Structure 1
Amino acid sequence: MSPLEYPIRRFQPTLVAFMCLVALGIYAFVNVPREEDPYFKISAFIISVILPGADPIDIERLVAKPLEDRLAELDDVKSIETSVVDNVAVVVIEFEAFTDAEKKYDEVQRETNALRPSLPGEIARLEIRKFSPALVNTVQFALVSATATYRELEDLARALKDKLKTVEGVRTAESWAYPFRELRIEVDLRRMAELNLTPGVLVDVLKSENSNLPAGTLDLGSRSFTLKTSGSYESLDQVRDTVVASRNGAITRVRDIGKVFWADQPWNYIGRFNGERAVFVTANQKDGFNILKVRDRIATAVAEFEEQVPGRIKLEWGFDQSRNVAHRLNRLSLDLAIAIGLVSITLLPLGVRAAGIVMVTIPLALSFGLASIFFMGFSLNQLTIAGFVLALGLLVDDSIVVVENISRHLRMGYSRAEAALKGTQQIVHAILGCTATLLFAFLPLTVLPATAGKFIRVLPLTVISTILGSLLIALFIIPFIASRVLQPTGGSQGNQVLQRLMGLIERWYRPALEYCLARPRSTAIVAIGGSLIATLLLVPVVGSSLFPKSNSPMFLVKIETPTGSSLAATDTALRFAEEKVAAMPEVKSFFSNLGHGNPKIYYNHLPREDAANYAELFVQLREYSTRGTPKKLDILRQQLNEYPNARISVDEFVNGPPITAPIAVRIVGPDLSSLQTLSREIEKLIRKIPGTRDVDNPLRVSRTNLRLVVDRQKANQLGVPTEVFDQAVRLSVAGIEVGKYKETDGEQYAIVVRTPVGNRPDLSVLDEIRVPSRSGNSLPLSQLARLEFETAPTRIQRFGRERSVTIDADVIGNMNTAKVTANVVRELDRFPWPRGYHYVLGGEAESGTESFSGVGTAAIVALFGIFAVLVIEFGSFKSTLIVLTVVPIGLVGGF
């Protein structure tokens, strides 16, 4: 008994297999994790270093270069990029895609920790973060109030954060957009000078008294006990009573030279929700959990928490990623219903029973595909859903052919069992060949290298699994059902629908076919040539890009004022953007972030660190229209471009690996001044190229810094060491962190020593600074130093351990990104580059090269595989080439 005959003759095992497949599909559908984006690990890490009071040149020399040199010694490093601004250095290191992300994280952490003692001691924070798509916030809340204090909002935000952490499926939660508290010690420099106490001594004493070193363990009888020493500060009075000096029997405590109290750190991140003052709380989901179920648990926890929120504070659920997932799942259900409807209409000529048999293929094949991705460890996300939608148009082909051939044998007079067996056996090779060509077409996508390959791999695997399922169903399940259900209809000519269809074919299609067959050469030339010409004409109309837009109902408005702008100046630009966005009827809500990027809400979105000249709006729409929304956003861009002295861009979310812009040109060279000159020329060059917009040059505008020039000879004569001078200035302007204070709830706050000035010191603070001398006197700063203005770089970028500057540009509407990039490259190649300077292309061009660098061999293998299958199928090269002519004709349908 042949394999094809077995399910027809032995229906019991076939029926059991049928029910098992249904049960497997239901089990997979219920238990498969649901996420918006596929989970995959990336061997890329972000090292953020904050060195308060340092300019970009100092941070580059003291922090960035040592870190780069140390990390470059690791194996399999793909790239190192660094961005340095005032106070902050961000080093991004990426390893080859084949490396183990966890192992590389350990290596980066080990090397960074080994380097830490040689870095400046004034570093306030050194943080290593994984770049993981899984660390995307699935919810973002806003606590909104115009009257509540930030202390009240902070306490509520921390409480909500802790509440969300207890929810099953939540990985972690964070609170944002409020000034962090600090334990401030405000000292009187004049009084310290009278006591002959320098800032350095005070700082050292406080650090020493707040240290908490474990003494070890002691055995007592049969038990071991951990021995604790004095430990860190536990109350403000302990800080006030700290002895900082003792001379001639007189003890000087902190309370004798200053005050100790709670205060807010300087403003660097302000949030608003729909234009109202707010703080934010976010949470992200653990891997392998169903986002819809986690969302329901979060909703329950939030409902309980909302009972303790005062009436003057509103808790707004501003962002919910599960809505996008639910929308995509609903779309899949709609596509499934449409597919079943179209199949039923298409198969009416074969009869209602035949149509019903074929429609069984759709849920069964989807069940097979869903079970396959579930057991392979994938989730139900936007790419698996796209794979299922794509497969819907392919999975019924085999079953249609089988059912039609069985129906034909029934009309020829065979019994149902014989018709099912002979009808299937007659076309089994054709079905296998057709399915094999489809599988070969998708195989190259499974071996794409780099990050893009990891991201997109689940899509072809979904299609391949579903098509394989449809093949098995068409060869074994469909013949079994047909042998039990199908009946001959309409005699040898079929039913009335089929007869009418054949009449139309005879009347219209047959003459056209005979006409074409009589002129084979002309027909081939017109069909193939016309298809190619139509395709070429349609490409500019449709447009192209390597990674398509996500079509999610949300976007970002990024605002950047000139470097050196105050937070207030940036806020003015932000409020202008808020006004324009709020006027759009399509807008549902928006988060405003002043001085910081919005928390991460998309897998390739990299939030910006603290910057006084940066703001960001995260806008959510009521719905996304592929036709209407891009036009509305273009209108918004035009309105925002009216604002002077700020770069305001509207960015839609795009699939694929993270890139700063579709077009990015890195200019590499040693000298900052030359890089700035070249960057301005290249910026003008790119602006002139048709199709570019939102051209950004970080070195377009120079900045001016204030520099204190110390009269060293005079300072030495008056007994003021340079170190004491620097510490006095630092205390007065930025303050010096001397440790952490741990509250009873476990939260830690910085202990900062500074002089009595406002949160945002201005130029007048320099007039109040007095510097202690060895003689016990305090001298005004103006007696020892003078102010000078100097030109300084706004930002220092480094690529491949060399200085660089990156010019970014977006592409207008449906313009062909590849074509615009080619025009940019042509102009760059014509540009007279000075010796020692060159450009490196980034953006989509770089990402595309990386993503498809290894796919050429796989594509060739797939092409030869398809060719071999067709040759085996037809036994003739000529027939194979004739079949392959459908490829250029099919391109027209694709556009």
Structure 2
Amino acid sequence: MFNTIIKRPKITMVFVLLLIAIGTLTLFQLPQKEIPTISLDIGTVSTVYPGGTPEDVEQQVTIPIENALENIDGIDEINSVSTSGFSNIVLRLQDGVNGTEVFMEIQQAINGAESKLPEQVSTPNLSQSGGLGALSSYHVKSSDREELYELKDIIHGWQREIEAIPGVENTIVKGFPDQNYQINIDSEELFENGLEIPNVIEAVEEELNTQPLGLQEINGENVQLALAVLESEEEIGGIFIGRNPDDNAVYLEDIASIGMENETPEDLITYEDESAVSFTVTTGSDVHIPNLHDDVNDRMVDLSAELPEEVEFELFYTQKTIVDEIFSNLSISFLLAVVSVIVVSLLGLSFSSALVVALAIPTSVLIGLIPLPFFNVSLNQISIIGLIIALGILVDDAIVVGDNIRNKYREGLGPLEGALQGSKEVRISIITSTLAIVFTFLPLVFISGANGDFIRALPTVLIMTILASTIVALTFVPIFLVWREKKQRRKKEKSHRVPKEGLLGIQLDRLANWYSDSILKRVVRHPWKVAIFGFIITTCFYALIPFIPVEFFPSTDRAEVTVEVRLPAGTTIEETESTLLEMKDFILADDEFINETAVYAGNGLPPLFGDGITNGGNETGNLLLRVDREKQSAVETISRWTEPLQEEFSDAEIELTTIESGPPVGAPIAIALQGPEVDTLIEMSNQLQTEIRNLEESGTVLDDMGPLRPTIVYEPVREELEEQGITLAQISEQIGIRTEGIPLMTFRTGEEVIDLQLTLDRLEENDELDLSEIVIPSQGNGEAGPPELIVLETLLDATEVEEIPQIIRDEGVRTITVRVFPADDNDDVLESEIGTITEDLQASAGSDYTVSLGGETEARTDFILELATLFIVVMFLIYIVMAIQFYSLSIPLLVISTIYIAGAGAMIGLFLTQTGLGFMALMGIVSLSGIVVRNSIVLLEFIKQRRDEGMNIEEAVIEAGRVRLRPILLTAFTAIGALTPVALSGDVLFTPLAISIISGLLFSAVLTVILVPAVYTAFATKFGK
């Protein structure tokens, strides 16, 4: 087939040009993003239980809903938090399930469980989250927060406008309080008019709960019948309640203060010392970020024109800036890589061969891009780095084919005959080595979870580009060299000249002769000694692993530092905001490198710079610092301010973080404590935190339970209750109506939805509940006449205590997680010491309680185990391919041994540069597996061919070394040249990958040309093959 293609160059080139054109169109149509879409498939079930304690919420809301969900197929994890008045259940779906169908089942289960919940509980709300990140975020700011609140309807109108733009998934507005229509009844007015609370509730509901009147046929026409009802909130006060003893009509406004009121906001935002509201735009999975940002930003600017003059509108964050920076840096790296590959090619190849390599690069890349849309791969930093890695590999085929064809021309063959024989001679080894590379990277496509979503673009791009390069090398390269050779032979003045084989061609020939005549001749005399000594040296280098820093995903070189703060339970959101502002002033007073700040009290920042706050509330918040990273990095800022903030604000739990260059893995070290009793778990957590804080470099240590919440417990006086015939339900109603109130019906006017809330003598902020002012009718007096009114003070004893602020459940088991953020991220000794502490704690905890070490350590271990499994699969697939090619069971082991050699080289590079051994470094080592086997295959295939021609073992090995040294060195150094710009770029994510590949290739290129011939000679001599 390939010979036919080479013999028909014009038709072949038409198809090549067509594929190039399609690839070019694909390049401009692929979505551009910062990182690949990381699918999380997370659902959140939020339920409000007004006034409920954490225990009440857990038992009466959380557990019934969890029980309804636990048997649904497709749910991987169920975690929940039950806090005062609120239940939050987080569901994570399994990888690969149909999210739409599973969420439908979840909603049905929630609807079924709703009937088992207390009447006061609001309808559980299921929300979904499909991925991480946001397109952009804006601030609308003013010096007057109340003025911002008046813009609520305008901003919500913006949401409808922006969400209508194609590519926008949804919008998130933070900073506005919820509103309800408050009906606060005056008890004195109510009783003076001879009315009771049920009279008010019944009157309001009967006024608003009307039935449609339907249609009536009148005079041959269907006429709609309608009842005139209240049309605006101002008319609610005119609802008729009843008549007083004087037979006068009593209306709602006569006995209650009514009107719209703001609830306590979930977020209080301050941006650059002014009150603000945040407007964040999130995207779908397949969008072109720069283009979508331009569309959204233009619309936002137009919409902002309707704001009052005194209100400012500013862009706070956009992914477009990051994408433009990433693509600019990686584009430069890509161009430098192309130049490096061409320069290296010119050193060892003739100009025509180097020109072939230069043309093969864009051709292979563009053809390799064509399938990417079908695999949902976008242009992002992961896919571009895949292209850069591919650069160093894809030219290998062109170099090997071109070099062998040039050898045939030097032997005197004609242009077409030389191309046919030269390409045929290396065709099998090229196809086999390509399959080896494909099999190397193919298992990476199947890595599970967020890590798989993050890295999947890299193997996909590599596989497609390498397949394209193989096709180009076996078709386009021979055709081009035929044309080039014919042209040169037509020039009489060059007809008898041998073209110069590269700028260093003569030197490389001398090196090849010296290598084969001096080195290999000695190697083949003592193959066993050379092989054993070489593998001992290689093995010794693996002893460097304990001295290499370990960092799963390094922190990015970004300007943002997030300070997450959790104050003692019971802290109001206003106090939280005040504390965050004090922290901001404390930092700015002594750090001139921070040029921008934002305070988010409450639930924290929108999803811009990481996971955000888990279990947020009034006592939590974020302080965002933007640093001049040219003068001070984010990591330096964290190191500088962690201890001073903890010392200055000792009552707060403070955690400083920056963005990780990968999917989130949580705290570096996390210890999960699980068991039946929360009090026991708290004691274990306190003991664990104390012991860890006593360790050196322990850094920040905290748990997700937090300090106890101040609580007033009303203990019933049972004897009095029994004597008066009063129940606890009646007492809770009397207290609840003064604190949380009673939700009434929803009042709708056009598009506006208004929630009605009924209270009686509502307690204002900072008011204490006075039991002596609350009376309840006695049910124990059987005498005629009005019932005796009993003061609650005689029925209850109030005691101030501290109780748990929340109950956290993991897979239905009560859990507290202690998180550790070490001062030194690479302190393996600290991890070991914490492991010992957790083992001792488990030994003393009893069988009902478990202590398990997790966090980034667990994530790293799980990933390494998964990668090790895939690596075994890779080795097996490569072995099968080699066994088929060489029809041998021993030669594949020889090929695979080069991977072992390359891995040792990667360890050397990581150790010398003190680069972290993490996710991307391991990806680099896996990538090496596919790259280094090529050199072995080419060398062994040549030996096999020469032995088939009648040479003995020693002659075949020496001759193979002479002929194949040039392409082996060139292919290794072109890959090194392609990745050197990346290694020198300082990119925290890709530098480990580049260093591991470069050092592995250098080491393996040197040892492969010695150890492979030695091992082959040793085995072939002993076993006769």
Using the size of structure 2 for normalisation, the TM-score is 0.79
Show the counterpart of 1:764.
768
Q: Work out the CA distance in 2 between the residues paired with 1:223 and 1:365.
A: 74
Q: Which runs of 5+ in 2 are unaligned?
A: 779-785, 911-1025
Q: Which residue of 1 aligns with 2:463?
A: 464
Which amino acid in the other structure matches residue 829 of structure 1?
Answer: E
Say if 1:273 and 1:590, in contact at 8 Å, map to a contact too.
yes
Aligned-pair CA distance for 1:510: 7.7
How many angstroms apart in 2 are the aligned matches of 1:224 and 1:15? 74
Question: Per-residue displacement from partner, 1:137-193 (whole Å, max 9, x unpaired)?
Answer: 311100121136232443453343344234332222232113233322222122223
Q: Is the Cα–Cα contact under 8 Å of residues 182 and 265 in structure 1 kept in the other structure?
A: yes
Name the residue aligned to 1:34.
Answer: 32
Q: Which of 19, 25, 41 matches 2:23?
A: 25
Equivalent residue in structure 2 for 1:753, among 758, 774, 777 = 758
Distance 1:660 1:776 in 2: 61
The answer (yes or no) to whether the contact 2:187–2:761 under 8 Å persists in 1 is no
Per-residue displacement from partner, 1:48-97 (whole Å, max 9, x unpaired)?
A: 12223221111111111111111113234433221122222211233432
Out of 186, 210, 215, the position equivalent to 2:184 is: 186
Whole-Å separation in 1 of the counterparts to 2:904 and 2:455: 25
**CA contact under 8 A between 1:540 and 1:816: conserved in structure 2?**
no
What's 1:453 paired with?
452
Amino acid at match of 1:605: D
In the alignment, does 2:694 pair up with 1:701?
Answer: no
User: Structure 1, residues 791-818: CA drift from partner, whole Å, max 9, x if none?
Assistant: 311221112222222222234544167x
Alpha-carbon distance in 2 for matches of 1:607, 1:824: 25
> Are 1:543 and 2:538 counterparts?
no
- CA drift at 1:720: 7.3
> For 1:329, which of 324, 327, 330 is the aligned residue?
327
Q: How does 1:539-688 map to 2 (within 5 A)?
A: 539-545=546-552, 547=553, 549=555, 552-579=558-585, 582=588, 587=594, 589-601=596-608, 605-608=611-614, 610-620=616-626, 628-642=633-647, 643-654=649-660, 658-687=664-693
Which of the pair has the greater relative contact order for Cα pairs under 8 Å at 6+ separation? 1
More off after superposition, 835-844 vs 439-448: 835-844
Q: Which residue number corresponds to residue 794 of structure 1?
A: 805
Is the aligned partner of 1:244 residue 2:255? no
Report deviation, 1:619: 4.3
Tell me the equivalent position of 2:932: none
List per-residue Cα deviations over 1:311-361 (Å, max 9, x = no partner). 322211001012222223223322220121111111113133322221222
- Equivalent residue for 2:336, pick from 335, 338, 342: 338
User: 1:170 touches 1:283 (CA, 8 Å); kept in 2?
Assistant: yes
Q: Does 1:889 align with 2:901?
A: yes
Partner letter of residue 144 of structure 1? K
- 8 A Cα contact 1:448 1:852, kept in partner: no
Is the 1:56–1:85 contact (alpha carbons within 8 Å) kept by the matching residues of 2? yes
Partner of 1:838 in structure 2? 850
Please state how far the C-alpha of 1:884 moved relative to its aligned partner: 3.0
2:838 partner amino acid: L
CA distance in 2, matches of 1:390, 1:35: 19
Stretch of structure 1 that moved more, 571-580 or 62-71: 571-580
Shift of 1:104: 0.8
Q: Which amino acid aligns with 1:543?
A: V
When structure 1 is superposed on structure 2, of 556-565 and 521-530 the one drifting more is 521-530
Shift in Å, 1:609: 5.2
Q: Spell out the pairing of 1:854-873 with structure 2 (5 A cutoff).
A: 858-873=870-885
Percent same amino acid among aligned pairs?
21
Corresponding residue for residue 347 of structure 1: 345
Q: Which amino acid aligns with 1:396?
A: V
| Alignment match of 2:318 (pick from 317, 320, 330) | 320
Which residue of 1 is the match for residue 357 of structure 2? 358
State the match for 1:429 in structure 2. 428
Aligned pair count reads 885
Instruction: Spell out, residue by residue over 1:493-548, the C-alpha distance to the aligned partner (whole angstroms, 9 max, x if none).
Output: 63553124445666899867777777655654554444444444255433232x55
CA distance in 2 between counterparts of 1:716 and 1:732 reads 24
Q: Is the 8 A contact 1:361 1:474 kept in 2?
A: yes
* Superposed CA offset, 1:450-506 (max 9, x none): 454345433322221122111111112222222223659961763553124445666
Is there any run of 5+ residues in structure 1 with no aligned partner, and where? none
Secondary structure of residue in 2 paired with 1:885: helix
The equivalent of 2:376 in structure 1 is 377
Q: What residue number does 2:124 align with?
A: 126
C-alpha separation in 2, matches of 1:522 and 1:786: 90
1 CA distance for matches of 2:896 and 2:700?
Answer: 43
Q: Which residue of the partner structure matches residue 829 of structure 1? A: 839
The 2-side partners of 1:112 and 1:853 are apart by 37
Q: Normalising by structure 1, report the TM-score.
A: 0.89
**1:294-305 correspondence to structure 2 within 5 Å:** 294-305=292-303
Q: State whether residues 424 and 475 of structure 1, in contact with CA within 8 Å, keep that contact through their aligned partners in structure 2.
A: yes
Higher Rg: 2
Does the Cα contact within 8 Å between 2:350 and 2:499 map onto a contact in 1? no
Amino acid at match of 1:140: S
SS at match of 1:347: helix
- 2:141 corresponds to which of 140, 144, 167: 144
C-alpha contact 2:570 2:709 (8 A) present in aligned 1: yes
Quote the offset at 1:650 in angstroms: 1.5
State the AA in 1 paired with 2:19: L
Is it true that 1:266 corresponds to 2:264 in the alignment? yes
Measured after TM superposition, the shift of residue 253 of structure 1 is 1.8
The one-letter code matched in structure 2 to 1:595 is G
Out of 277, 280, 287, the residue aligned to residue 278 of structure 2 is: 280
Q: Please, which of 293, 306, 309 is the counterpart of residue 308 of structure 1? A: 306
Partner residue of 1:234? Answer: 231
Aligned equivalents of 1:257, 1:508: Cα separation in 2: 104
> Is 2:747 the counterpart of 1:735?
no
Q: More deviation in 852-861 or 87-96?
A: 852-861
* Counterpart contact for 1:181–1:264, Cα < 8 Å: yes
| Structure 2 CA distance for aligned equivalents of residues 673 and 478 of structure 1 | 74
Contact conserved, 1:49 with 1:88, CA < 8 A, in 2? yes
Q: Which moved more, 1:855-864 or 1:259-268?
A: 855-864
Alpha-carbon spacing, 1:523–1:88, altered in 2? closer, same or farther (3 Å) = farther
Looking at structure 2, the residues matched to 716 and 441 of structure 1 have their Cα atoms a distance apart, in angstroms, of 78
Cα distance in 1 for partners of 2:328, 2:186 equals 66
Structure 2 SS opposite 1:271: strand
